Structures are given as structure tokens and as C-alpha cells.
Amino acid sequence: MSQNIYDDETFFNNYAKLPRSINGLQGAPEFEYLKSLLPPINSETSIVDLGCGYGWFCREAIKMGSKSVLGIDISKKMINKAKELDTTLDLGSGDGESQSFSKLIKYEIQDLEKLTSITDNQSFDLAYSVFVFHYLLDLEGFLRKVYSSLKKGGTLLFTVEHPIYSCSKYTNYWIDYQNNAEEKIWPVSHYSFEGERISNWLADGVKKQHRSIGTYINTLINTGFTISHLNEWSPTDQQIKNNPSLLIEKERPMILIIKAIKN
């Protein structure tokens, strides 16, 4: 069973303070790039958000035109928060009738490693997931279920912590180059030693799985996917101008973005 760290009171309360929790997709600087990789979304597009959290992308997909979105998360606290936001955020109106997120989005509390509801039904055009796959032990088994759930030509779009960011068995930290605080180095170690990493991010004892880029790519290929796009995300000049704190993200990749297509 996957670690359900998001239902930990300390973790959940600290997560709620993050910009992406408060501001939604506007607080996630990589979403601008992710959005450019999305397939066309309309009223016929069926979407599953794997590890949906607060449901920010579920609601965005509805705004983009989808009428069928399923959000799945292991955390009861996250799903409850998503449902709360569905009722408090305004969708507006359409076709002369009042619209609501809660009527168009379905949520399920499920461990993604034990998915049952989406297996073998070939019903989704898009499977979307952000910062989830690095929590999973059996990546290939999970991807086979996702592959089976997609229609032919369907898209899997996901992000994970970049392996350069996640690889060290020690606490991740910057080093000042030659004692110069203006020049930073990100140490890379244990890269080819895949497996569990313990982080104290937001709470003590958070378990993650480090994998190399090659492992992600080859597992997708072995599952049957065709790799359509890969990006080691970093902020744009305009994003840095708007938020100078993002400049350090140019020094090492933190986010790996992959788009894959079901053949």
C-alpha cells in the first residue's frame, strides 16, 4: 500500500500553506508549460486526474470544456478539500442554466497502486498526474492499468520530481561554490541507486521512490506507450521577472515532464 502522507495532520496543514494550495494552478509555475502539452479538450473529452489533490486541474478541465472528469486520490482529506472547493468556487453559467463543478466532477478515494475502477475500460482520452508517480512502488504495474484505461490515441501527461533532484540519499541542499553565496552547486549522488528515499518535506518520514530518467522512459515504452514529449522544466525569463525567487530553478532541474500516447 502507498504511504498516505497527505492524511497526516502535520503534512496536510503544511501543504495547505504552499502557493499551489492557496492559488491553485496560478501558484504552479510549470502549469503554463503543461497546458501547452494538453490535447484538445471539449465536451466529449473524458479525463482522469491521478492524485488529484485539491482538484485544481479537475476544475480547470471543466472550464476548458470537458463534461466528464474523474479525480482519484488516496487522501480523504484531499478529496474532502476538493469537494469543498467545488462548492465554493464559481463555475458560472452555461446554456442558460446554472453550472456547478460538483455536478461534473466525480471523486474517488483510492490507492493508485491498487486501482480497480479505471482498469480495462478504455474510457479516458487523457490521464493527467502531477508529482505522484515518485510515490509509487510498482510503477510498471500502475502504468499498465493507466494504459488499459485510455482510449487508443489517448494521452498520459505527468510530472515527477526530476531524478537529479531526488537522487541523493542525503538531505537535498545547495552548496556555495568556493564559499561564494552567489554561486550555488546542487550535489548529485546515488543517481544509479534507485529505490526509496526518505524526505522530511512538510513532515518527517515522507517516502519517495527515486528512478532514473531512463527507467521512466523505458517503463513507459515497455508498457506500450509512445513518448511524445519530454521536458526538464525551468522557468521562463518572464516568470523570473515576475517572481525573482524562481531564478535558482535555472541551476538544476526540479521537475521532469513527460507526455506519452497510447498506440
Higher pLDDT, 152 or 94: 152
Written as nine digits, the cell of 105 is 466532477
pLDDT band (50, 70, 90) for residue 97:
very low
Q: What is the pLDDT of residues 181-193, one digit of tens each?
A: 777 888 889 999 9
State the amino acid at position 170 in one-letter form: Y
What's the pLDDT band for 96 if we cut at 50, 70, 90?
Answer: very low
Hey, which residues does 199 pair with through a beta bridge?
A: 206
The whole-number pLDDT of residue 1 equals 53
d(CA 69, CA 7): 23
Q: If one looks up domain 5-161+210-262 in CATH, what number appears?
A: 3.40.50.150
pLDDT at residue 53 tops 60: yes
Quote the CA–CA distance of 82 and 120 in Å, as a whole number.
26
Give CA–CA dist 59/37, Å, rounded.
Answer: 18
Residue type, 18: L
Q: For the whole model, what pTM was predicted?
A: 0.91
- Residue type at position 262: K
Find out whether 181 and 202 touch, Cβ atoms under 8 Å: no
What was the pLDDT predicted at 120? Answer: 61
Specify whether the CB–CB gap between 8 and 201 falls below 8 A.
no
Residue 179 clears pLDDT 70, i.e. is over it: yes
Would the pLDDT of 34 be above 60? yes
The count of residues in the chain is 263
Position 88 scores a pLDDT of 82
- Is the pLDDT at 196 greater than 50? The verdict is yes
In this prediction, residues 92-107 reach a mean pLDDT of 70
Between these two residues, 5 and 22, which has the higher pLDDT value? 22
Nearest to 132 by CA among 13, 227, 249, 5: 5
| AA letter at 22 | I
229 strand-pairing partners: 259
Average model confidence (pLDDT) across the chain: 89
Give the confidence band of 118 by pLDDT, cuts at 50, 70, 90: confident
Q: Could you tell me the maximum CA-CA distance found in the chain, to the nearest angstrom?
A: 65
Looking at residue 203, its pLDDT comes to 64
Question: Following CA atoms 88, 19, 256, 235 in sequence, which dihedral angle do they give, to the nearest 10 degrees?
Answer: 120
CA distance 227 to 207: 27
